[in-house]
Amino acid sequence: LIMVIGALITARWIVQPIDRLSRTARALGAGELSARSRLARSDEIGELGYRIDEMADRIERLLVTEKELLANVAHELRTPLTRIGVALDLAGEGDSEAARASLAEIAIDIAELETIVDDILTAMRFEVASSEFPLKRAVLPPAEIADAAASRLRARHPSRPFVTNVARDLPAIHVDRVLFRRVIDNLLENAHKYSPDGRAPLSLEVACDAKRVVFEVRDKGIGILTDDLPKVFTAFFRGDKSRSRETGGVGLGLTLAKRIVEAHGGTIEITSKPGEGTNVRVAVPAVD
């Protein structure tokens, strides 16, 4: 009897979990990426199960990310390619006037594609160089960055209500002009893109707070779901509504913004309420 009980205990405690582990590993190997062992044990077998599950989580995330990037880039390419195709057809049919008319739109599409390619390349350079990313820093007045970003937004979206409020006598900041402007451009572009009601106002405020210069971009757009908030800085993450592809984008803007800001010794924070709007604060050290 004792032997039978002993055998049962061994089966329950050792054989079953190991069987579960090997079934999980087999399922993962067969491409069933949602398989997990979910062993709730605090011994070595439990530890092994936990590691396998963790690895599966990571692989699943990576694959999803890669698929999303491909889908997003393909989506971004479609509009300009269609336009170019139409223009070529028109030119082929001898209607060079109509073909020429679409050139301006094609140029805008291509400029947007260039920004995306730039973002992807910069993100990859950051990935490779991590914290050693070479910044071409200069001592600049924050107003210069704010004014440049504001004029760009006004030029791109002339009918959008937009106010800037730049405090006077701000201390200078020591930043890479091109990269830092890219941060503010990305934030303003998001504020515009995720405010589908064209009358919803955006704002850019620049102020000084405890030896830091703070750039704050606000919108009254769709906002971000509380569950999504921690994910928005993850490369290629796009919220559900953005993923429905009414808006263009590949999900790199905030990832890059965070890396650039942190490379400058600064911080970036987002607060948002679905249906009410979003507020992004970028703070960088002021020059003494």
Ligand X SMILES: Nc1ncnc2c1ncn2[C@@H]1O[C@H](COP(=O)(O)OP(=O)(O)OP(=O)(O)O)[C@@H](O)[C@H]1O
Judged by the rule CB under 5 A, the positions of this chain that interact with Mg ion are 190, 253
Question: Which residue, 171 or 274, is less far from ligand X as judged by CB?
Answer: 274
Could you tell me the smallest distance in angstroms from the CB atom of residue 279 to Mg ion?
15
Number of residues in contact with ligand X, rule: CB under 6 A?
23
Q: Is residue 11 classed as helix, strand or coil in its secondary structure? A: helix
Residues 240 and 215: beta-carbon distance below 8 Å: no
- The answer to whether 224 contacts ligand X (rule: CB under 6 A) is yes
Question: Which residue, 46 or 248, is less far from Mg ion as judged by CB?
Answer: 248
Question: Which residue, 37 or 279, is less far from Mg ion as judged by CB?
Answer: 279
Site for ligand X in 15-74 (CB under 6 A): none
Site for ligand X in 192-211 (CB under 6 A): 194
205: closest CA among 215, 197, 194?
215
In whole angstroms, what is the distance from residue 161 CA to residue 200 CA? 7
Could you tell me the smallest distance in angstroms from the CB atom of residue 279 to ligand X?
9
122 binds, among ligand X, Mg ion, none (CB under 5 to 8 A by kind): none
Question: Which residue, 122 or 190, is less far from ligand X as judged by CB?
Answer: 190
Q: Is residue 136 classed as helix, strand or coil in its secondary structure? A: coil
Q: Is residue 115 classed as helix, strand or coil in its secondary structure? A: helix
238 binds, among Mg ion, ligand X, none (CB under 5 to 8 A by kind): ligand X
Question: Which residue, 50 or 233, is less far from ligand X as judged by CB?
Answer: 233
Question: Which residue, 253 or 266, is less far from ligand X as judged by CB?
Answer: 253
Could you tell me the smallest distance in angstroms from the CB atom of residue 256 to Mg ion?
9
- The answer to whether 122 contacts ligand X (rule: CB under 6 A) is no
219 binds, among Mg ion, ligand X, none (CB under 5 to 8 A by kind): ligand X
In whole angstroms, what is the distance from residue 100 CA to residue 97 CA? 5
Q: Which stretch binds ligand X (CB under 6 A): 42-50, 121-129, 220-228, 258-266?
A: 220-228
Which pair of tokens denotes residue 182?
């890219």
Residues 253 and 190: beta-carbon distance below 8 Å: yes
Specify which residues 282 forms β-bridges with: 215, 268
Q: Cα angle at 153 between 147 and 155, to 5 degrees?
A: 100
Q: Which of 182, 238, 258, 259 binds ligand X (CB under 6 A)?
A: 238
Helices 16-29/44-92 angle, 10° precision: 10
- The answer to whether 223 contacts ligand X (rule: CB under 6 A) is yes
Alpha helices in the chain (DSSP H): 2-10, 16-29, 44-92, 96-101, 103-129, 142-156, 177-193, 240-243, 253-263
Could you tell me the smallest distance in angstroms from the CB atom of residue 187 to Mg ion?
8
DSSP string for residues in 215-244: EEEEE-SS---TTTGGGTTSTT---HHHHT
Could you tell me the smallest distance in angstroms from the CB atom of residue 164 to ligand X?
17
- Which residues form the interface with ligand X (CB under 6 A)? 119, 186, 190-191, 194, 219, 221-224, 232, 237-239, 242, 249-255, 278
